[in-house]
Every structure is written in structure tokens, then in C-alpha cells.
A and B are shown apart, each in its own frame.
Chain A
Amino acid sequence: MTSTLATEPVLTLAGLTVGYGGVPAVRDLDLSVRPGEIMALLGPNGAGKTTTLLAAVGALPAIAGTVQALGAPLDKRVERNARRGVTLVPDNRGVFHKLTVADNLRIARRKGGTDLADVFEYFPKLKGMQGQRCGNLSGGEQQMLALAKALLPSPKVLLIDELSMGLSPIAVKDLLPRLRLIADEQRMAVVLVEQHIDLALAIADSAMVLHHGRVALSGSAELLRSQRANVEAAYFGRVADV
């Protein structure tokens, strides 16, 4: 894994409390990721993982605390943050079903971003599907398209919500190592929300388990891999000492 964790974080959540209609779903969260780092954000349903990601791209306003991205406070508008290089692959994948694959990719391209040819190297299957409507793609193909779409503008911080949702275990085993490769090559900070704990920990540098909106466990992925029982305990809200 990467050994360059000494650089400055590109995304820092400090004392972040965020929720819906004034009711917090995440409380007092501290989190930071560095270029090239993959952080696995784990936890049961309703733990606050998606809420955290939405707040980190500006889609949900913070009730308290701050979000710093790329050395500056987060903008209130999601689209501005996206243009600055902080973006999210949402849990519905954020692909446009009515558009063709080519059109999906087209609107994601930016000057100074990654070449389409390079993205096709990561996901060669997409190359032959450009004329198809995205809605006709299988779940795995859509997820590839979602990642390809997210990579085209060369984001500095990529948040991914449930990469494996609706995918077969085989497809997940195929996608996650590719994500590791991309993060290394592009020096991209990744926060990955995942239900497949072991698969996620296998490619991550660091990990955090949320429970009821609070951090139940955090540490390096290596450490958490060695303390699998503690991770499971944290899922049920028992805070362990790591």
C-alpha cells in the first residue's frame, strides 16, 4: 500500500455534526484523508455513512463543525466543489439512465482532466458500449460507468457510497482492486463506504466504523484487519480500544 501518508490531508472533517431537519445523524466527527489514501468508512445501516459523504461534498449543510477540502472551506454548492475536485459517486450510482454511455462520459469531461482513453484502460468493457443507453447496462457495467464518469475530471477527493450495492460478489472482487490501482496512480484520496468489510479492508489504508452517528472504531486498515472481532463489536456499538 501507499507509504506517502505524510502529506497534508486533502479532506478534513473537524467536529462535524450534520443531519436532517435539525436532527443530527452524525455527531462530532473528525476525519481526514490524504492524497493516494483509501479510507474505508464502515458501519451498519443508519450509522451515518451516507450523511457523512453528503456533507463532505456540500450536499448537506453542517449543523456544527467544519469541512476543509483542498486547503479551503467547502463551498455551499455541490457543483462548485465538484469542479474543484471533490465529488461523490452516490449510492444510486449517479449515472443518467436516459443518456447513452458516450453522453454520460461526455458531460463528465473537463479540460485538464483524465483522457477518455486512459479511463477506458481501467474499464475496457465500456469502450464498446458507448452507443448503448445507460439504462440498458447491467448493474456492474453501470457501476463501472459511474466510476469512469467520476474519474474523467481527475478529482482530488473521490467519495464512493456503496460501490458494491446490487453487484455480485465476483463483480465487487473485480472492481475494488481497480480502485486501489486508480488511487495509487492518480494520487487520489478516496473515502469508500462499503458493506463488504473484508474486501474493503483489503484495499484500504485506513478505516473507520460508525455507529449511531459516532465513531465506534478507527485506525489503520492493517490494524483493523488483525482485529476483526473488534470491528464486528463496533458494528454493534461496542466501542473497543484499538
Chain B
Amino acid sequence: MSEFLQFVFLGLSVGAVYSVFATSLVGVYAATGIINFAQGSIALWAVYTVAALRTDGTLVLPIGDVSLGSVASPTAMLPAVLLGVATAAAWALIAHLVVFRPLRRAPALANVAASVGLMLFLQALVSLRFNTESLAALPILPEGTITVAGAVVNVSDLLMAGTAIAVGALLWAYFGLTTRGVATRAASEDELAARLSGYAPDRLAATVWTISGAASGLIVVLGAYTIGLDPVSYAYYVVPAMAVALVGRLASFAVASVSGLVLGSFQAVLLWANTLDWWPAWAQAGLGDAMPFVVVVVALFLLGGKIPSRGSLGELKMPAVTVPRIRPIPTIAVVAAAALAILLTADSWRFGIVTSMILSLIALSLVLLTGYLGQISLASIAFAGTAGFALSKLTVNWGVPFPFSIVLSALVATALGVVVGVPALRIRGAQLAVVTLAAAFAIQNFVFNNPALTPYEGHQISEPTLLGMNLSVRRGTELTTVAFSMTVLVVVTVMTLLVMRLMAGATGRAFLAVRSNERAAASVGINVAATKLLGFALSAFLAGVGGCLIGYSRGQLSAASFTVVVGLTMLAIAYCGGITSVSGALIAGFIGPLGVFYVFLNQTLDLGQYYQVIAAGGLLLMAITNPIGAAGANAELANKLKTRVRTARLARVAENGTTSLEMSSVKVGTHVG
């Protein structure tokens, strides 16, 4: 019993981080309506700033650094903590001023893409700017212990929990008791009305961003010694934090604060359970990481009626859609160009092209689900991964031949897609993004990384053959064979054309109807629930095929190809490429991880290590300057040019006084809302 209690208390430090992240998220949501995926990354910068200051007195800035001491006399604890917290506050303020304020009238999806971009950017920047290998966190809180009911409890864990509760209480008091706080909530509901009452919504929001950034920075700085320092995990603490914030309906500071602590303790208790004899082997790893998803799903079903946005009549602003038309000449040109590129390149360049083609298929799954159906999903990469792992089992254990192996594996992903899609029947918008992210996180840690589910020799995949032809990716010293590349090209082309055909027809219309207004769609006889599930199923199937191709292209599957980071990157890239058009998916494939753009950076410019910073920074820039995505911007530009040319031609015709048949050829762009 005392051992159990000990673990309950041990989990409080991590729980405190969840708790403060969650209350910060609730605060930012109350002030701006934004769910900030970058909350953890902002805190990550603070914790490394403090570590660097206390190691050798260096204040690391995004560019350059300032020396405030030396190894012999590093910065003292208090100034270091204050500076660290200030950097987190500064990043949060910059995020507001540079990223989210310009996007306040942009589609919800632009905000998700931008905050994901910011999360990846800061995380990559931390890895580049700090010596993450050698820096360690030094203790800040007292290291003593006390005994509670026979359990030895660290004072620091209790202090962490106390800090978390204090932060939650302060935020609650600010929003509930101060006029400024009330005005902040008002401004997030109706900006013009708040301004007419004499408040500047930007400043109110800036205050909350700064407070929440400082709070998140502080709790991580305080807890880093106990929890440990690594450049990835803190950024992802935002996932459980979002889960508990959703339990509090993104509105209750008290529920978010307490649930965070409870989740932390519960995860620690699961660790303790590993020591029990009867505890099953499969549950020994990753179960704790699966908890946020469980929490979210349970919360949805218990509180479904109360979670904001459910059944709300307010229309979600979405980027305009380009209804695909299959035009033979451009299609043949693109396919021929790809084939030519495959033939003219070799090794890593050809591998980059193949990867880009596969990624464009995964991006297409996002275009289908997020762009056309309006369901923001961050789980596509998990579907791809699931299919990849199924492929390994199917080909190695049961000898299922290509191409049936791909179809069957993709069907496994499809089944999973439908399961993950069920919460979408109850929620929408950025909150669905949270749920799918929690799902992806659970699948990554509980399935892909679970040693109990991983064979001793790793996830091998048998080489694909078709009618006696060997289609495998490697032959001898050849890194990427033409046969494999062409196979990928054929599969991707066929799938893309199928999707285009589907989207141009009745299914596409049903998707767009559901996207723009669920109730209106239902009123004209569209089965909204079935349409959503169909969207998830199709999208998961596409992603699954992509995952199988990734599997075949690697020969052996590793979880690293399907991490949540890759998934987030894919969504952000797909958004910036143009989430509402097929060409956007192609652009996304081009710039996606390990694709052609990466090879270009790595081989030609020798800047491979900067890929994530460049890609994430570029994404942010794209999301801010171009909230409708590159393909949308291109289409708009093309339309403008076309209109101008036609108008000029019409003017000339009018001048000549000839009646013209050209009048009838003026086309309106095929954009629909």
C-alpha cells in the first residue's frame, strides 16, 4: 500500500506539468479560441535556457548568445530561473504577435497548422541552438523527503503540485474575478463588441499569452531536475495536457488543473503495476502514453453534450475548395515528368522522388479528410504506420503476396480509421485535432514502440514480386530500383485518379456539404455520421497504402517513420501545400520529410540538419502569409491572370466592334465555399 502511495506522489511532478500546461491551454483558449499545440515547445526553450545559464552562464538566443558568466561562475539559480521564465513569456508573446494575431480571421485549420508549425519550429530550434547532449538540469526545489502514511515522499513533488494548483487558481481568479479577465473572455466571443466597450482585444490576448507562457515555462523549469531533461518529451506533454483540458471542457481551470495531477499520478501507478506478477507483458510499455486518448474518449462520451462546439450552429471557416477535374494532358504530363525524373536520377535522389510520391499519397489522405470533409485529423500517419506493421506480419508470417498484401494491410488501417473516426461524430474543429493527436500518440507508444508486439528481429517485410518480376527497392548496390519506383508511381497515380473521380462526384458533394454545415447537409438527406466515417475510412485506406509503400521502400519497418512528429509535419505541410486540392497534396509530398526538397537541402546545400527548422519556419511563414495554402494561392493567381487576359481580349473585341462568341467562354473559377 505504501509503495502504491509512493508512486501516486511520484507522479505529481509530471502531473503538475500536465496541469499547468492544461490550465495555460484553457486560458489561451478562453482568450483567443486557439488550442495552442506549441505550449510545450515554448516551455522547452525555457528549461534549456535555465540549464545553459546554470552550466556556463550563457544566455542562448535564437540567433547568437550573451555570456553572463563562465563555467567557473555560472548564473545563480534565481536570476537563471527568472530569465528562463521570461524567455517562455517572450516566445508566447511573439507567437501571439507574429503568428496568431495575423491569423485571427483565418480558418480554424490555419491556426492548427500554424501552432503545429510553431511547435515543430521551436523544438527544432532548441535542438540546434542548445547543446542538448550535454546540458543537464540542476535542482531548484528542496531535495528533502517526508513520510506520508508509510510512503517516502519527495518534498519537491509536493511543491510541484502546489505550484500547479496555485497557477490554476491564479488563472481562474484572473478570468473570473478581474474586470480585465472578464473583458478578455468577452473579446474572444465578439471582438467588435469588446472594442465598442473600450477594450483592445489584442492587448487582452497578449496578456494571457504572456502569463500562460511564463506559467508553462516556470513549471517545467522547476520540475526538470526530477522529470529529466530531453529535447523532445516536454513538447509532447502538451498531448496529455490537451486531454485533461478537454475533460474540463476547455473552460474549467479547476477540472483541468486537478485532472492533470490525477493523470500524472495514474501514469506513475501504471509503472508501479509493472512490478506486479499478474500484470500482462503487453501492458508494460506505452500504456501510460495511451491514457490521454482513453481520458479524452471517456470524457467525450460522459460529457459529450457539454463539450463546446458540439452541435453549434456557427459555421467553421474553411479554406475554399477546388473541385478536381481529371484533365488528360496535365495528368499525362505530370506522370511522364515523374517517370522521367525516376529514370534520370539514381540512389538518394531517386529515393527522394519515391518518398515524395508516397508522402503525396499520405497528404492526399489528409486532403480528403481534412480539406474536403473538414475533419482535422492528426492521426493519418498512425494509420499509415498501422498498415506498415500489418504488412510486415502479413508478408513475413503468412506470406501474402503483393499486391494483395497492400490491400489487406490498408484495410486493417481502414478499420482503425473508423474507430478513431467515432469521436468525430461528437466533436469537430481543433478539438477533433486534439483527439486524433491523442490517438496517434497512443498508437505510437502502445503499438509501434511496444516491445511485446515487436518481433525479436524487428519488423521485416518480404520483397514484393509480381508475376515473377522482382519489384524490391534494393538490388545489389542499387539503393532504389527503377522497378520499385515505377510500381510506386503506378500505385500513387491510380489512387490519386480514383480520389479525384470520387471527389468530383456525389461522394465529394456529400463531403463538402458536411464540411460547410452539418445540419444543412442532414436536412437534404445526407447521412452525416456515415459520411464522416466513410471519410475516415477512405482517408485511412489511402494513408495505409502510403504506409505499405513506405514499408516496402525501407525493407524493414521502424516506428521512427510513423512518429507523431512526422504526422504533425505532414498535416502542416499538407495545409501549406493546399489542403483543399489534389495539387496541394503533390506540393506537400515534394517538401515532406525525406522527400525531394530534403534531398536538395541535404545533398546540394548540405543543410540537412536544418531541414526541420527550415521546413517548420517555412510552414509558419506560409500559414501566416497565405492562410489558404500554396495551391489555393496559385489557383487564385491563375484565375486572376486568366480573367485579366480575357478582359483585355474582350476590351479589344469591343473596340473593334465585332460581336464575339468569346463572351460565352468567360468562365468563373470553380471555387466553392
Contact = CB atoms under 8 A, between A and B. Distances in A.
A59 interface: yes
B634 interface: no
A94 B198 contact: no
Interface stretch (A84-92, A162-170, A212-220): A84-92
Given A59-B192, A90-B193, A96-B193, A83 B185 contact: no
B185 A78 contact: no
Interface string A82-116: 11000111101011111100011011111000000
Given A59-B192, A90-B192, A96 B199 contact: no
Interface string B196-218: 11111000000000000000000
A34 interface: no
A96 B185 CA distance: 9
Contacts of A104: 186
A60 B401 CA distance: 66
B407 interface: no
16 contacts: A78-B195, A79-B194, A79-B197, A79-B199, A82-B196, A83-B198, A89-B196, A94-B192, A94-B193, A99-B185, A99-B186, A104-B186, A107-B182, A107-B186, A107-B199, A149-B197
5 closest residue pairs by CB, A with B: A94-B193, A78-B195, A82-B198, A96-B186, A83-B198
Contacts of B200: 77, 79
B93 interface: no
B189 interface: yes
A48 interface: no
A110 B197 CA distance: 10
Contacts of A83: 198
Contact of B179 (A88, A95, A107): A107
B588 to A, nearest CB: 31
B122 interface: no
Given A96-B185, A107-B182, A107-B183, A88 B190 contact: no
A87 B179 CA distance: 20
A147 B200 CA distance: 21
A79 B190 contact: no
Interface in B165-200: 179, 182-183, 185-186, 189-190, 192-200
A109 B199 CA distance: 12
Contacts of B189: 96-99
Contact of B196 (A94, A97, A109, A110): A94
A35 to B, nearest CB: 20
Interface of B: 179, 182-183, 185-186, 189-190, 192-200
Q: Could you say which of A90, A98, A110 has the most chain B C-beta atoms within 10 Å of its C-beta?
A: A98
Contacts of A92: 190, 193
B199 to A, nearest CB: 6
A65 to B, nearest CB: 22
Contacts of B182: 99, 103, 106-107
Interface in A137-163: 149-150, 153
A77 B186 CA distance: 18
A150 B189 CA distance: 17
B183 A87 contact: no
A18 interface: no
Contacts of B193: 90, 92, 94-96
A19 B182 CA distance: 33
A106 B179 contact: yes
B180 to A, nearest CB: 9
A110 B193 CA distance: 16
Given A79-B200, A99-B186, A150-B196, 13 more contacts: A77-B195, A78-B192, A79-B195, A79-B197, A82-B195, A82-B197, A87-B197, A90-B192, A94-B190, A94-B197, A95-B193, A96-B185, A107-B186
Contacts of A149: 197
A61 to B, nearest CB: 14
B186 A90 contact: no
A57 interface: yes
Q: Could you say which of B192, B195, B199 has the most chain A C-beta atoms within 10 Å of its C-beta?
A: B195
A57 B196 CA distance: 8
B299 to A, nearest CB: 21
A184 to B, nearest CB: 23
Nearest to A159: B196
A153 to B, nearest CB: 7
Nearest to B199: A79
A109 B179 CA distance: 10
A107 B195 CA distance: 11
Interface in A58-80: 59, 77-79
A82 B183 CA distance: 14
A107 B178 CA distance: 10
A108 B185 contact: no
B198 A153 contact: yes
Contacts of A150: 196
A107 B196 contact: no
A12 B192 CA distance: 22
A217 B357 CA distance: 66
Nearest to A135: B189
B196 to A, nearest CB: 5
A108 B194 CA distance: 9
Nearest to B200: A79
A78 B191 CA distance: 11
A77 to B, nearest CB: 7
A57 B193 CA distance: 12
Contacts of B190: 92, 94, 96
Contacts of B179: 106-107, 109
Nearest to A146: B193
